[in-house]
Every structure is written in C-alpha cells, then in structure tokens.
Structure 1
Amino acid sequence: SMTTVIIILAAVIALIIGFGVSGKHSISVTTLMSPGNIGQHGVLGCTFEPDIRMGSIVIRWAKEGVAGLVHEFKNGKDHLQEQDTSFRGRTALFADQVMGGNASLELRDLRLSDAGTYKCSVTTARGSGVAVLHYRIGAFSTPKVHVENSSSGHTLQCEAPHWFPQPTVRWTACSDSGEYLPYTANTSYELNAENVTLKVVSFLHNITANATYTCVIENNIAKATGNIKVTGR
C-alpha cells in the first residue's frame, strides 16, 4: 500500500510592523506557519533582511498571554534568563542560519497549549521589525490500509494512531476500468492514553477485486491518505 500525508499549510502571514528605534530604519520581518503535531517537533518560521554583523542581531520570540519570553538570542548566542518556564528545554534557533536572515524557532515536544499568537521581533544594525504568527496545534498521522480475510468476505482496514481534533474518514473505490464503486464503511474513534488524541479505525466491507481503494482522513489541521490496490483472487 502507498501512504501520504499532506499538511494543510497556512498562508504566509506577512504582518510586517516596522518601527524606528533612535533613528534606525524599520526592517522587513515575515513569518510562515505550518501546523504543529502534538508530541513532535515544530518550526515557527520567521525571516528578516540578512545582516552579516552577528553581534548586532537580537531575536526575541514572545507568546500572547505568557509572562516570560519564549526565546531570546543576542550577541551570537541564546539568552534564556527571561524564558518562561513552560518553554524551558524545548526551544532552539538555527544559529548557523541567523546571519542569512533565518530567525525561525524550533519548538520540541509540542503540546496543545503551545497553540496561540506569537511575535517574532528582530533588531539588527539596520533597524528593527516584528511579525505576528498564529500557531495551530493538532495531531495527525499516516494511515495504514490492509486486507482482512474472514468467512463473511474480504474487508479493508484503515488505521491511524493519533488525530486531533476528531477527523472525518471517507473512502473512495475505483475499479480498474475507472468506474466508482459503492461501498459500506464503519469507523470508530478510541481515546489514547494521554486523553487528547484519538486512534482512528475504519473498516470497508464487501470489497471487490481489481480495484483501488483510498482511505482519506482529514481535520482542520491536516489531510492524510492511504491507498491499496486489490487484485483478482
């Protein structure tokens, strides 16, 4: 079987707010967001006009509603004295790419509470700027599709270990001649041990030979598909 996951990318958020500081110019800062997957690593994208003078670059990440900073970088290294405890040990910048204009933040062990509005503020020798990013968190995983044989006939099972929010599941069935086939599916959702994400299991009954079946799982964060070709018996 062949499986694919397609993350629904948010549009580039280019809320560029330039401000002058003691005669300096404003610089362009832009954010790019793709949704985060609970328990995995995520990247909050942020770029700015490059500056080869590393010592002059200051990058601050802040989150709305959080008292401390998410991450601070200046004088060529991390400064985490003012970091909020909820982010301790979970953040990093791509330090070797900062001079090239990359202020993106890596956030590890993603939690549902990490969703929210972030600000990426950058100051260089040329000036300062800030961009806003609205970060979405969910759970998504690749479905596996296989055939189950029983006395009552052949059944397909589509299973994916963790999703949040609860997704929809739909199947498509297409014969080798291009004709769409009718089908009956039965889908269930089981709460995982951490009491947030759901295990998704869907059965497709009364399948026919010489056809391709596709299981599509989708929520407002991501879309994933699993395909299987059933050959003649």
Structure 2
Amino acid sequence: MATIGQIVFCSMIILIVIFGTAIILLLALALSGQLSEVMSNNMAPTANLGNDELLSCYLNAQTQPARVTEVSVTWQRTGLTGPVYRYQNGAPSLGDQDPQFKGRTQLFPGDLVAGNASLLLRSVGRSDGGEYTCTISSSGGGGKVKIHLKTAAFSAPTFKFTSSALTAEAPRWFPKPNVTWSDFDGNVLNGSTSFAENSVGIFRVVSSLQPVNISETYSCRTENDLVTAVSKATVTDPVTENTYFTFSAASSLMTSTHLSITTSVLCIYYLT
C-alpha cells in the first residue's frame, strides 16, 4: 500500500512531466513555424532521387487576406551563401542564386497572390538534402518556416511466381533496405534476399519466398530508416499486387508523450 508521501511524490513527477511536455510542444511548434504566419504542410519531406519534389510554404490562410500583394519570397538552404530561389518586385531575382540550383527551381507566380510560395525542385540529387528556410514578406504579413529535406531512392517491387517461388524485384533503393516476408496472418516467413549496388550507390533488391501456396496473399516489407514499402501479393497467374509507402518523420511530441506515459506507468508500479 502506498504512503501519502509516495502518492504526493509521484503526483509531482507526473505534473512536472506533463508541463514539460507542453513546453516542448510549444517550443517545437514555434521553431517549426506553426505559431508563425508562414506554414508548411510537410516540414520533413523525403524526396525520391531523380524525381521532382515540391517544398510546401504558404501564408496561414486563417490570418491572411484572400489576396496579398507586394510579395517577396526567399528560399535558402543552410550552409550555402547564395539563395536557392528569390522572388521580389514581381519577378524572379536569381543573379546570386547558388549554382547548384540554377535551372532546377521555380515558384508559381499565379499562386503567390493567395500566399502560396511553394518551391518546385527538379531532379533531386543526394546533395539537395538539408535544412531549407522559406521566408515570405507581403502586404498581408509574413514570416519564415524551416523544412528539412531528406533524400532517398525507393521503388515498388514487381512480383513473379515460378516453380513454387514468389519473387519480388525492386530496381531502386537507397539507403540499403531490409526485406521481411509475412503471411496473411502476419507470421514472419523465411525469405532469401540479394542486393546489387550500381556505380552511384543505388541498390537493386531481389527477394524470394519459397514455397508459397496458390491463391494465398503474402506481404513483402522493404524498409530503411527513411522509407517503408509494404506490398501485398496474391499468388495468381499473373500475381496481383499492391504497394503503399510510408515515410519516417521524427516527432518531439511523440517522444514527449511516450516519456509522460512511461513516467506514469512507473509511478503506478511504484505506488503498488
């Protein structure tokens, strides 16, 4: 049976953790721009190498007029002296643009009047990863938001069924992934996976599962620290398949909430 002192002690610890979580959340929101007039709908995007990527940046519609004028936009990346992109006085201003981004970036002038300053970055390479800052100044207000762009290579596998084996082949993955097979009920199965790395460090992934049963559905999970591809394949002729991707994004709120829950559980254990 817990004493009054133990109850008071644990109550104080829980209150401290709750207040700490609230403070961390407020700081995270402030640093990310969520308390600013400038926002982004994805502050930690993962771009597929070689593809185009849209970096989101816009004025908060709840605090801005329907139409803004005198819009100036600057996109910068930490570590570079020149801007990634600059728009001012009604036109692009790219005289001092960093050479890495020449001919590869654009805004959408027709959307600027609505406060949308999102940046299209073409043909993303590994060196494009990093922290970007979008700064907007306009008649309706302004501010800045930071976006951390991560780069990876990922592709959905194609499936073949031959000689009682189900084989998945994905041509582009980076960083090197892990592959896990499971059956319809989620039981992990023993598959065989091989990797072939090309001259630029991109991996071709081939994984096989044997034996498999006709008409049954199997799951092939390909994942690294940035991207997870979950594929469902049903053994038919031809194989029917479906793949969806999820992307990792660190969350200080999730970490703080986990800490609060863990502390509460420990206190309950302590009291009993």
Name the TM tier (shorter chain): 0.7 to 0.9
- Tell me what 2:196 maps to: 190
Match among 167, 189, 192 for residue 157 of structure 1? 167
Q: Following the alignment from structure 1 to structure 2, what is the Cα–Cα distance between the partners of residues 182 and 39?
A: 33
Is contact 1:155-1:206 (8 Å) kept?
A: yes
Question: Does structure 2 retain, via aligned residues, the 8 Å contact 1:145–1:227?
Answer: no
Residues 92-137 of structure 1, C-alpha deviations (whole Å, 9 max, x = no match): 1122211112111110110111111111001012433111111111
What residue number does 1:29 align with?
A: 38
DSSP-derived class of the 1:96 partner: helix
Q: CA deviation at 1:13?
A: 9.0
Q: Paired residue for 1:38?
A: 49
Q: CA deviation at 1:192?
A: 2.2
State whether structure 2 residue 33 is matched by structure 1 residue 16: yes
- In our comparison, the structure showing a higher alpha carbon Rg is 2
Q: Deviations over 1:21-67 (max 9, x none)?
A: xxxxxx6111223211111001111111455343x100000000011
Using the size of structure 2 for normalisation, the TM-score is 0.68
How many pairs are equivalent?
Answer: 204
Q: What is the identity, as a one-letter code, of the residue corresponding to 2:175?
A: P
Runs of 4+ in 1 over 4 A off after TM superposition: 11-14, 179-182
- Partners in 2 of 1:172 and 1:230 — Cα distance? 14
Report the CA distance between 1:181 and its aligned residue. 6.3
Counterparts of 2:39 and 2:31 in 1: how far apart (Å)?
Answer: 5
Per-residue CA deviation, residues 179-221 of structure 1 (Å, 9 max, x unaligned), is 566743111111124x221111101111122311121111222
Q: Per the alignment, do residues 183 and 16 of structure 1 end up closer, same or farther by CA in structure 2, a change over 3 Å counting?
A: closer
In structure 2, relative to structure 1, the CA distance for the partners of 1:230 and 1:17 (3 Å cut) is closer
Aligned pair in 2 of structure 1 residues 12, 90: CA closer, same or farther (>3 Å)? farther
Contact 1:216/1:224, CA 8 A, preserved across alignment: yes
Look up the match of 2:259: none
**Alpha carbons of 1:82 and 1:210: their partners in 2 closer, same or farther (altered >3 Å)?**
same
2: CA distance between counterparts of 1:133 and 1:139? 19
Decide whether aligned partners of structure 1 residues 219 and 159 sit closer, same or farther in structure 2, where only a CA change above 3 A counts: same
Q: How far apart are 1:12 and its partner, in Å?
A: 8.8
- The structure richer in strand per residue is 1
| Contiguous gaps of at least 5 residues in structure 1 | 1-10, 19-26
Q: CA RMSD in A?
A: 2.4
Q: How far apart, in 2, do the equivalents of 1:199 and 1:59 lie?
A: 40
Percent identical pairs in the alignment equals 32
Within 5 Å, give how 1:51-70 maps onto structure 2. 52-54=67-69, 56-70=70-84
- The alpha-carbon distance between structure 1 residues 108 and 212, as it changes in their structure 2 partners (threshold 3 A), is same
1:107 to 109, 117, 121: 121
Q: Counterpart in 1 of 2:148?
A: 134
- What is the rounded CA distance, in whole Å, between the counterparts of 1:92 and 1:182 in structure 2? 46
Q: Tell me, which stretches of 5 or more residues in structure 2 are unaligned? A: 1-27, 238-272
Change beyond 3 A, Cα 1:184–1:16: closer
